[in-house]
């Protein structure tokens, strides 16, 4: 079999596959030792981390992720693809993704899960103002990008 001609779509596809493969290998080389250290540290400091409770905790989180969050994300992306014009879709999807990440991160702070009177942390403070400010900034930037993209398409017509 002959090699694809430089600049042909087949050559570009081969380069893309090799780039993805290299990224996966580099990610594994960097991530596997870090994950192994985390597992080792968890069991080495069992008195602090209580690893026997991690199994059910991780199983519940994986179940919530696989059965609720991922299908919900696909449904929202499908709806956005049907409703939002393609020209402005990337900033809207990016803002939705960032909003979901910030929202999930803020759940324990907003709900005050884990608050203890003997351990004053950020969890004891009101979380709603920070969450709303962060979401406002995300959507302000998305709105500016949408307007820039919409104006750019109007100028080119």
pLDDT in tens, 91-125: 999 999 999 999 988 888 888 776 677 777 766 67
Residue 8 has pLDDT above 70, yes or no: no
3-state helix, strand, coil in the chain (%, to 5): 80, 0, 15
Q: What is the predicted pLDDT for the residue at 64?
A: 84
Q: Which of 9-13, 36-40, 82-86, 151-155 has the lowest mean pLDDT?
A: 9-13
CA distance 139 to 59: 33
81 plus 142 within the same structural domain: yes
Question: b/e string for 119-157 if b means 16 or more Cβ within 10 A?
Answer: eeeebeeebeeebeebbeebbeebeebbeebeeeeeeee
Q: What pLDDT digit, counting tens, does each position of 20-51 carry?
A: 888 889 989 999 999 999 889 988 988 887 88
pLDDT at 13: 73
Whether pTM exceeds 0.75: no
- Tell me which of 49, 68, 84 is where a domain ends: 49
Residues 72, 39 share a domain = no
Q: Which residues contact 90 (CB under 8 A, 6 or more apart)?
A: 145, 149
Give 89's contacts (C-beta < 8 A, 6+ positions apart).
Answer: 80, 81
Judged against a pLDDT cut of 70, whether residue 80 lies above it is answered with yes
**Range of 12's domain?**
1-49
Query: Is 45 found in the same domain as 62?
Result: no
Count: domains in the chain: 2
Check whether residue 73 and residue 146 sit in a common domain: yes
Q: What pLDDT score does 6 carry?
A: 56
Shared domain check, 45 and 55: no
């Amino acid at each position: 079999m002959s090699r694809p001609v430089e600049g042909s779509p087949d050559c570009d596809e081969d380069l893309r596959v090799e780039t993805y493969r290299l990224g996966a290998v580099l990610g594994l080389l960097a991530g596997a030792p870090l994950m192994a250290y985390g597992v080792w540290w968890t069991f080495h400091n069992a008195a602090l981390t209580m690893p026997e409770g991690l199994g059910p905790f991780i199983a519940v989180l994986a179940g919530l992720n696989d059965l609720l969050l991922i299908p919900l994300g696909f449904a929202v992306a499908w709806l956005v693809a049907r409703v939002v014009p393609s020209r402005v879709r990337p900033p809207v999807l990016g803002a939705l993704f960032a909003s979901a990440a910030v929202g999930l991160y803020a759940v324990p702070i907003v709900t005050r899960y884990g608050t203890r009177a003997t351990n004053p942390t950020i969890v004891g403070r009101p979380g709603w103002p920070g969450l709303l400010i962060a979401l406002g900034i995300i959507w302000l930037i998305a709105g500016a990008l949408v307007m820039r993209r919409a104006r750019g398409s109007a100028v080119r017509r």
